[in-house]
Structure 1
Amino acid sequence: MGLLPDGASGPSFSGKESDLAGLSWREARRTRTFWLMVSAFFLLGASVHACVLHLAAMLTDRGITQQTAALASSVAGAGLLLGRFGSGFLLDRYLGSRVAMCFASGAAVGILLLLSGQSAAAFAGALFAGLGMGAEGDLIAYLTSRYFGLKAFGELYGYAFGTFVLAGACGALLMGIGFDKTGSYSVPLIGFLAAIVVAIMLFSQLGPYRYGVQNVNEGRVGLKASAAAS
């Protein structure tokens, strides 16, 4: 609530962009970190969207009943919700790039389970894919603030999240095209599995945060730079 001891004054803040630590859009787009992060989110987003949106059709094509396929879709929805809560919990305790690698690895396991075509494995695969899809929205916002600060957070987050949405559309389209061309979901699933592996490698290159939390005791507003931007 901003309560301070009697006689103490808090840090002044005019609300201007210059009061916030971080990079502008022009500066951020010239960094290697920005393109690593956006590329990783694009690959992961395309993969999890493709799996979740085509889940029911994928399972019924493999001989699983419509009722079971519908239930698996519900499990994916539950995984999405758990991914939102779980990613927030983990981001408060561990390095964000490692959390992203963890959820991406789970999504990769989910694709492997979906490739098996078995009912029990399909439920677990749907859960893991949903977890990855749910976590990504939180990860985008958090990593954007930690690697680029708040100076142009709204604009940078808009570009990053827009990439995630575009990835979802591309992933669903490519999954459908892959099925039409090959008559099976196996080939596109293997392709998306490879895409997630690349995304994990990209996340591993992000390194430590460049901006930390606000330090009120020193009278600084916004995010404090903890390392030089790449």
Structure 2
Amino acid sequence: MDQPTQPATEEGTIQVLLVEDDERLARLTSRYLQEHGILVTIVRTGPEGLAEASRHAYDVILLDLMLPGRDGMEVCRELRTRSDVPIIMVTARGEEADRVLGLETGADDYLAKPYSSRELLARIRAHVRRARGRSGPSTQPLLVGKLSLDPRSLSATLDGKTLPLTTYEFGLLRVLAERAGRVLSREQLLDLVKGNAEEVFDRSVDVHIFRIRQKIEEDPRNPKLLKTVRGAGYMLATGDDT
């Protein structure tokens, strides 16, 4: 395992776990990120990635799909059972089905190889800003019926119970809560929830809406809170609507 060597930036240390079995790519990616103030730890197998993620709290995990020991999908799925750390899936397989599967498994973002180092850096910083509560100007709690969202801690509760949302799911639900009672198209949601690969992947909105409904609806197949308006988009119902 290669440990980080760069000092912290003025904005605070960003620590990244890179799980990548391609040694040359891992070295090049690590070098570029460290030149821009990101601390990078490299591991090369799925089991090593799980072990390292358990030992240390990272700001972002860059996770290759094809890994020895356990593949990226398995690693991502297990990480999601115990952590909300932003996960960016990095893989040479860029087909739509793979992107959908990665997002359904719990990844927050998706980059296909070969990727731009500058784009990767921008996405890492965007995820960190979101996770640290600096993604938007408003930090006031949002209340929509029995749903409460706290932008400072990126936490949400429904009827007093904490919702296990990922950072992207929280961002999507926040956008809907800020406009409760209004229908938002997929394109509007993609534009409002920035900083992820989903900006160019329309179907991912449906995947995330599905996952959010599993967490907030009594009957996800008959949603009362997060509604679909056929041919138009999605709407979060106000307290009066429910």
State the TM-score, normalizing by the size of structure 2: 0.25
Identify, as 1 or 2, the structure richer in helix: 1
Larger radius of gyration: 1
**More relative contact order in 1 or in 2 (CA 8 Å, sep 6+)?**
1
Identify, as 1 or 2, the structure richer in strand: 2
State the TM-score, normalizing by the size of structure 1: 0.26
